Structure 1
Amino acid sequence: MRRLIGSMLLGFAAVATAAGCSFSTGGVTVAKDDVATEISNQLKQEVGRAPESVTCPSDLKGEVGATLRCDLQDGGDTYGVTATVTKVDGTNVKFDIKVDDEPS
């Protein structure tokens, strides 16, 4: 099961940089829990199910180019996930996600 999950995540990692996530916030940051939820939702759409958990250490700054590293737990493995802000329009922050190719 672990290998299958890893393969699915690797498949997602190849397309993640092209898939943007839009999320409206109340300010110029996206709350860390909202970033984690959006990452989980994107993975569910791409690979058919959400990972066991996604945690982010801090909020994502609503500034183009800002990045946030999060941890994705699934099948006993931990993968890094990078969220990178690509567009900010008022309180709407768009960011791409990229899952690491290998578990950490």
Structure 2
Amino acid sequence: MYRPIFLAACALVLTGCSVSVGVGGDKQVSKENFEKGISDALQQSIGKRPDTVACPGPIKAVEGESMRCVLTAGGQKVGLTAKISAVNGTDVKYNVQVDQKPMN
């Protein structure tokens, strides 16, 4: 029962997620912070945390930048897209859209 309810709830667009960026030449959100931020947002939005969120690497803290990631919940994998919506100093806001169907 956990999986279908979790996946159905995840199909919603999550907004208002935010993480801090590292300082230096190119501002970016580390892979670890980005994955944790997505997991935190899902937990806050639907009350459950995915087992894991895996992204291919860090993301540039630039408005409009997006990345495909994969969340795992109850043994099922589901794709998601996270897109940077705003950057204000070291605060980065992004939206997350979870795919409606699990991956094969």
- Contact 1:20–1:97 at 8 Å: present in 2 too? no
CA distance in 1, matches of 2:75, 2:98: 16
Q: Quote how far apart the aligned CAs of 1:9 are.
A: 2.8
Total equivalences in the alignment? 100
Alignment of 1:59-78 (within 5 A): 59-78=58-77
Q: Secondary structure at the match of 1:79?
A: strand
Is 1:20–2:20 an aligned residue pair? Answer: no
Residue 30 of structure 1 is matched in structure 2 by: 29
User: 1 CA distance for matches of 2:39 and 2:63?
Assistant: 22
For structure 2, list consecutive stretches of 5 or more residues without a partner in the other structure. none
CA displacement 1:65-94 (0-9 Å, x = unmatched): 100111101111100111100001122211
Q: Is the 8 A contact 2:3 2:73 kept in 1?
A: yes
CA distance in 2, matches of 1:30, 1:98: 18
Matches within 5 A, 1:1-104: 1=1, 4-16=2-14, 19-27=15-23, 28-104=27-103
Superposition RMSD on alpha carbons, in Å? 1.4
In 2, the alpha carbon distance for the partners of 1:87 and 1:93 equals 6
Taking every aligned residue pair, what percent have the same amino acid on both sides? 38
Q: Structure 1: which 4+ aligned runs deviate by more than 6 Å? A: none
Which 5+ residue runs of structure 1 have no aligned equivalent? none
Cα contact 1:25–1:91 (8 A) shared by 2: yes
* Structure with greater proportional helix content: 1
TM-score scaled by length of structure 2: 0.86
TM-score normalised according to structure 1 size: 0.86
The structural deviation recorded for 1:15 is: 3.6
2:6·2:73 contact (CA, 8 Å) conserved in 1?
A: no
